[in-house]
Amino acid sequence: MAEFNRKSDTVPKPPESRENPTVGIAPSPSENIGQKRLADFDLDGKVFIVTGGARGLGLSLAEALAETGGKVYCFDREPKADEGWNEAARRADKFGGSLHYKQQDVQDTEGLDRTIAEIADKHQRLDGVIAAAGVQHLSPAQEWTRDEVNRMMDINYTGVMMTATSAARQMFKYKIHGSMCFIASMSGTIANKGLLSPVYNSSKAAVIQLARNLAMEWSPIRKDGTGGIRVNCISPGHILTPMVLKNFEEVPGLRETWEKENMMGRLAETTEFKGAALFLLSNASSFMTGNNLVIDGGHTAW
């Protein structure tokens, strides 16, 4: 008996990019020149979802989209957003965009699918997703249990996969040629000095590979006008987030170790990734898909 089932007996094949070229999503060279400053970054009227958007990096990235006119829905498992989120929502309104909070755990696949569909149906579109929800746990490899491994992979990898596929269904439904950005990590390509996190690092490596494969499958535009969805990753270096600050409490001297391991001698602030997110979710990156943007202060460059 087969362990997995397909909805069709036909063996699926990815669309042939040469036969389904992604044309028409790049702005015309004459479209924006001289008409509006930085028009390729303008997200006015577009709709986005950011998972892990209640605080930290996710909130900073959501704010970047809202500051340029986007309607941004922040998903998180907390019952309500904290004070920092409310202040960000106030600022977003000032810039012409908007932030909306939805309590939604990425592990609740049915709820996730339902919430994403409701947002897309309300606006008759869904233009992009940033999948930033994730957890970390420090422990020697031999101490991990099967349940602990499964839980971390369920949030860090499966949660990204389910968010992306649910969003893609809505983009296909409304024939939106959108963009997705997965928050991976430089930890997906290296082992971090001074930090025992084998499952977290493996989950981020899986996310990077997921982006490549979904980009191959969704980037071409099919004959019916669906597709044209670009998929990329951002791989940050060490950032000053609540999760990392907890690591510093658990591992004395870790901050000093990490600061000396990159070329800039410091750790990143969450706001330093806003420009990259805006780039990947806007027309400014219209020829970029299946890639991984490493922003790590030079950590992996030496």
* Residues acting as catalytic residues: 200, 204
Q: What is the DSSP string of 165-222?
A: HHHHHHHHHTT---EEEEE--GGGTSPPTT---HHHHHHHHHHHHHHHHHHHHHSSBP
User: Contact at 8 Å (CB) between 290 and 231?
Assistant: yes
Q: Enumerate residues 6+ apart whose C-beta is below 8 A from 138.
A: 195, 196, 197, 247, 250, 251
Q: How many angstroms separate the CA atoms of 83 and 60, rounded?
A: 14
SS3 of residue 131 by DSSP: strand
Q: Determine if residue 290 is left, alpha or beta; phi over 0 gives left, psi from -120 to 50 gives alpha, anything else beta.
A: left
SS3 of residue 55 by DSSP: coil
Backbone angles phi, psi at 53, to 5 degrees: -95, 15
Long-range contacts of 141-149 (CB under 8 A, 24+ apart): 141/196, 141/198, 144/198, 144/199, 148/199, 149/199
Question: Regarding beta strands 230-236 and 292-295, do their DSSP bridges make them parallel or antiparallel, or are they unpaired?
Answer: parallel
Backbone angles phi, psi at 131, to 5 degrees: -95, 100
Q: How many angstroms separate the CA atoms of 54 and 84, rounded?
A: 8
Angle at 216 between CA 210 and CA 217, to 5 degrees: 90
